[in-house]
Structure 1
């Protein structure tokens, strides 16, 4: 079978050394900013810190204050910081926040504040993570709204 001579000046488009070319009309996917997710999830440490120091009072007022601070920081950082994919970023942040909170409760039950040794029954982790993801998604929607108001929506 006849085969044309290879053209030495033409690059083979299937070469693994070439960067991936985006499909016409489509842009390359924007990666999730994992450093932002981890940093914002670290706010889960406010619970044991407030419990240990006695700051912010006790009971419901302390809980509402921590939840409010967390929400304002999440929406502010992502909304004003032009973080890409705000809903996905804060949904993942919510899940990571829940994982940090449960890890603290398991490792240091006195500081965890989740109701006793080990942070409560193991079966409560999945519903709690789903709830944290939902709160993160709602905060992400608010952050996306802030980005749109500022003219930096993605």
Structure 2
């Protein structure tokens, strides 16, 4: 007897959600974050991105919302590190950001924080889906 396998992850959705979150560093780079004000701007954007992630995963009825959004957080983290590595030398004249941190702890922390962010959003999405299902019964 074989055990049923878990549903496959939707990698195109995961990558799309990770790319969508790049609005935060792009607004930082372009100065748009200053228009929103600090610390309200970054917090507001994080909440809006999280809400969008949750809404999309719930709307798409993702079979594995926690893992999907954890992976989206990791994709965002990798893309943010790459974006920083490419743009910081151009804009600042030197490498700055996570890759400039000795011992690569900066990269590890970026990935860890964004994985936790994605997992937390995934838990909210799971709760919303669960609540929606209980209301249907």
Aligned residues: 126
Structure 2 residues without counterparts, runs of 5 or longer: none
Alignment partner, residue 107 of structure 2: 125
Deviates more, 1:130-139 or 1:53-62: 53-62
How far does residue 110 in structure 1 lie from its aligned partner after superposition? 7.4
Q: Please, which of 33, 42, 45 is the counterpart of residue 22 of structure 2?
A: 45
Q: Which of residues 101, 124, 128 is equivalent to 1:142?
A: 124
Answer yes or no: is the 8 Å Cα contact 2:73–2:114 preserved in 1: yes
**TM-score (structure 1 length as normaliser):** 0.72
- Flag structure 1 segments of 5+ consecutive residues without an equivalent: 1-21
Q: Give the distance between the partners of 2:45 and 2:120, measured in 1 at CA.
A: 17
Tell whether the 8 Å contact from 1:75 to 1:139 is kept in structure 2 after alignment: yes
Residue matched to 1:100: 79
Q: Deviations over 1:91-147 (max 9, x none)?
A: 1111111111111111111799xxx73314132110221111111111111101111
Superposed displacement of residue 58, structure 1 = 3.7
Rg larger in structure: 1
* Structural RMSD (CA): 2.4
Shift of 1:53: 5.2
Partner of 1:4: none
Shift of 1:35: 0.8
Q: 1:54 aligns with which of 32, 36, 49?
A: 32
Q: Is the 8 A contact 1:91 1:133 kept in 2?
A: yes
Distance 1:43 1:111, change over 3 A: farther
- Contact 1:48/1:111 (CA < 8 Å) preserved in 2? no
From the two aligned structures, give the one with the greater helix fraction. Answer: 2
TM-score (norm 2): 0.80
Q: Secondary structure at the match of 1:38?
A: helix
